[in-house]
Amino acid sequence: RKKDTVFGEIYVVDISTGKSFILPRKNNPQNLVFRPHGIDLVKNISGDIWLYCVSHNDKMKEHSVIIYKVFSDHLDFQQKLDNPLLVSPNDVAATPTGEFFVTNDAGKRNSNMEHLFGLAHANVVMYVENNFMKNPNTGDWEKKPVWQVAAHKLNYANGVAVGKFSQIYVSTVMGNELNSYKLNIKGNGFEKKKVIVKLKGLDNISFLNKNEILVTSHPSLIKFLKHVKNARNKSPSVVYKVNLESGKVETVFSDDGGKISASSTAVLFNGKLYISQVFDGFILECK
């Protein structure tokens, strides 16, 4: 919230003890501004674990994807990637081979007009690291990183996840849709979207298995906006289980905001459900 002190770090939570600690970030470029938002954790083809972070520098109007190599006691800076297409990035999902996808939740950062009138100006941006392109001067084929918009005309795109067979899943908060896209064979964008299910106020996505996901929801956007302004205003939280093939939906958690407000991510581990939230500083553990 605007009145809150800026923090900007990555925490590790030990769920066996409930203890948490900051994971130090090493070898950062000088004057790096780190304001993490959406994240993804990926084991790449070399077997290393990389953390992809959407990061905002609103003062400089710069938005980035920052990549760290993960160690047990620290994060090692690898790369900071910027592009004009990252106008209002929200979430990121990466593949083991280095491609990643970023949701822009608006066509213009903090656009009240888009949110007020429900304008579908959000999109999904795709980054391909090893795309082969012919050099027009030499005629040689060269590896060249490519950024491009892969999906258009979404209404507040939020969560993004990479599934089996190059399927990309995208949730929309105000579009009230969970969408599926097939990455085309040439790797240069998405094929036509498929609406898996319509649900209100969808947020982040996590996989239960190859065919099922958990997705959180803000069922009342009015109460959510009041919660944005003041923590005393409670915002309902819902977690859905969705079958990606049949579209069948099951509500696995629902709360009026008394236990947790504005749930943002849900993860199932060892028979327990862990739910995080947009603003307040705790994770809820449920049997």
HEC secondary structure over 71-118: CCCCEEEEEEEECCCCCCEEEEEECCCCCEEEEECCCCCCCHHHHHHC
Q: Are 75 and 24 in contact (CB under 8 A)?
A: yes
Which one has a higher pLDDT value, 263 or 142? 263
**Nearest Cα residue to 151 out of 112, 183, 175:** 183
Give the pLDDT mean for 71-100: 96
Residues 104-134: pLDDT tens digits?
A: 999 998 887 787 778 899 999 999 986 666 6
pLDDT at 136 over 80: no
Residues 78-87: pLDDT tens digits?
A: 999 999 999 9
Residues 173-216: pLDDT tens digits?
A: 999 999 999 987 665 678 888 999 999 999 999 999 999 999 99
Which one has a higher pLDDT value, 112 or 168? 168
pLDDT at 260 over 90: yes
- Which residues make Cβ contacts (< 8 Å) with residue 17, sequence separation at least 6? none
On the CB side of 36, CA atoms within 13 Å amount to: 16
Dig out the tokens for 249 from the structure.
């939906």
Give the pLDDT mean for 135-163: 86
Residues 61-73: pLDDT tens digits?
A: 999 999 999 999 9
Residue 142 is predicted with a pLDDT of: 67
